[in-house]
Amino acid sequence: MIPSASIRSAACGLLFLCLCACSAGTAFAPSAVFAPSPSGGRTPTQTPSGATVADPAATTASAPEPAPSPRERPLYRIEAVLDTLLTTGGNGGMMSLTVREEVTYTNHSAESIPGLVLQFEPARRSELFELLSLSANRASQTAPASIENGQLRIPLDAPLAPGETVWLRLEYRRLIAQEDATIGWNDYQIVLGDWYASFPPYREGKGWLAHAPGKVGEHLSFPYADFDILLDVQSDTAYRVAASGVSEAGGTPHHFLFTGRSFAFALTTQIPFIRTAGNVEILGYTRPHYEAQGKIIADIAARSVEIFSERFGAYPHSRFTVLESELPDGMEYDGLVFLNPDLFPDYTGNGADYLTAITAHETAHQWWYGRVGNDQAIDPWLDESFAVYSELIFYERAYPSLVDWWWWTRVDRYPSHQCVDHPIYQFTRFRDYVDTVYLRGATMLHALRQQMGNQAFAESLRELQSTGLGAVMTSADVFRIFQAHSAVPLYTIWDAYLCLPPPHG
Ligand SMILES: [Zn+2]
């Protein structure tokens, strides 16, 4: 957590960044220092729009801070204030989120990093975003920082050498519109999905794995990170706070300590359905008129956590939450996933429905995305095909009589002949993307299983999960591990399904 007093003192002695205005028509300036609001709350003081220099007292007062300690993983210490009182604007009014964020990052690669790049989705909607301050201990004094297309770029005074650590602090305000987006609200839920600035993975020889959105698919990737988050909810509505993690002992603001791939919130007035899977608490949330579906998704999520924990390795957190949400289809975050209510009407209650399959799918992302990460824009098959195939693993155990139903309903009736390993940018239609990367990808994994045998295939999945825990895997990792467990060559299958198969021999 970041108490207000420590933030104020930390603002002294920093190099405040010059920030160029790269988003069309939007001038960002480091225009504020951290200071208490007149009411004694934690709202930052903001200078008039267009100011370019931080409070002189904040930049000249004290000696530089000591160098930050190296971290095994990126550390995000965040203090967020969510105000649900609607102000005018947008369709139905705007809520607001004010964030103070401190990030510590150690270069664990073997090469020097010339500059910092952070994924910064809250800034993508420039009309809803306001940067209040930005500082970093190693920022260049001559080259400006920039925010463009949802990315924050900070040139450094000198490249960040292997083993060196950098920190940055930023404060921003994001208005929250009534919309079905990863930051949005509706009459029963507030979603805070990609709401903070985060480092993408850094890969030697390639640099930061920071990508633009595609027409389909997900473009953000995350290294495993540590989170220390305070969330203060200012509201007259009694929201339940669903989150990637479990808050520390009661009270407000809510305090979360979490290690994982990402951290999302959903504040909701929905009904919770509580289950357990071993030592894991399962929470399902739906609106009251979907009570039957709420029980189903909680049941399926719990059964999925049991099966996947046994097959792949333990679920790494103490709680898993699945919520009905207006986000399209399903959407995964670490510890928390969303399911669109379009899945609800056709449920049968006997497993033969998309509600069951997609609940298992989103739960599987806790392993293929959460425990083991990937470059989601360039290698989407590395999580999606494995998540679809995990649906089959779920059905084989939970509903063996429905395996044939699953193959036809979910996979075989949507044939594709494109390369499974296409990046998201190869596709313009969601159906083509799913048919290829998800479904043909699952068909490829099944061919591998038939070629190498059930045991070798199961061992390969388990090793991917054990050696990849907390990492960002590549296709080369997958090729190597599958072949290591197979008594027969696998290249004929890779060749048949991939544009970039492994070299033979
Ligand atoms: Zn998926």
The correct answer on CATH 1.10.390.10 for the domain covering 373-497 is yes
The overall pTM is greater than 0.85: yes
Q: What's the gap in Å between 387 CA and the centre of ligand 1?
A: 6
Give me the pLDDT at residue 272, please: 98
Reported as a single tens digit per residue, the pLDDT across 404-433 is: 999 999 999 999 999 999 999 999 999 999
CA of 210 to the centre of ligand 1 (A): 20
- Identify the helix (H) or strand (E) that includes residue 86: strand 75-87
Per-residue pLDDT, 457: 98
Residue stretches of the chain with pLDDT short of 70: 1-65
The confidence score (pLDDT) of residue 61 equals 28
Phi then psi for residue 118, to 5 deg, are: -120, 145
Specify the 3-state DSSP secondary structure of 195: coil
Give the distance (Å) from ligand 1 centre to CA of residue 76.
26
C-alpha 327 to ligand 1 mean position (Å) = 13
CA of 226 to the centre of ligand 1 (A): 24
CA distance 87 to 94: 5
Q: Residue 56: its pLDDT value, please? A: 28
Residue 20 has a pLDDT of: 43
Q: Which residues pair with 99 in a beta bridge?
A: 80, 172
Q: How far is the CA of 346 from the centre of ligand 1 (A)?
A: 20
Give the pLDDT of residue 328. 85
Q: What is the reported pLDDT for 346? A: 85
* Distance from residue 299's CA to the centre of ligand 1 (Å): 19
Distance from the first to the final alpha carbon of the chain: 52
Architecture category of domain 4-53+60-269 in CATH:
Sandwich (2.60)
Distance CA 264, CA 268 (A): 13
In angstroms, what is the span from residue 351 Cα to ligand 1's centroid?
A: 19
- Give the list of residues 6+ apart from residue 236 with CB closer than 8 angstroms, or none: 84, 85
Please tell me the distance between residue 438's alpha carbon and the centre of ligand 1 in angstroms: 8
Residues with CB under 5 A from ligand 1 (ion): 384, 387
Q: How remote is the CA of residue 14 from the centroid of ligand 1, in Å? A: 42
Delimit the domains of the chain by residue range: 4-53+60-269, 373-497
Dump pLDDT digits (tens) for 293-306.
999 999 999 999 99
pLDDT tens per residue, range 435-486: 999 999 999 999 999 999 999 999 999 999 999 999 999 999 999 999 999 9
Q: Do domains 4-53+60-269 and 373-497 have the same CATH topology?
A: no
- How far is the centre of ligand 1, averaged over its atoms, from the C-alpha of 427 (Å)? 16
Q: Which residues of 446-477 are buried (b: 16+ CB within 10 A; e: fewer)?
A: bbbbebbeeebbbbbbbbbbeebbbebbbbeb
The CB density around residue 245, as the number of other CB atoms within 10 Å, is 24
Spacing, Cα 367 to ligand 1 middle (Å):
11
Cα–Cα distance measured from residue 341 to residue 358, given in angstroms and rounded to the nearest whole number: 12
DSSP for 246-288, please give it: -BSSSSSSEEEEEEES---EEEE-SEEEEEEETTEEEEEEE-G
Instruction: Report CA(384)–ligand 1 centroid distance (Å).
Output: 5
Tokens 């004094």 belong to which residue? Answer: 141
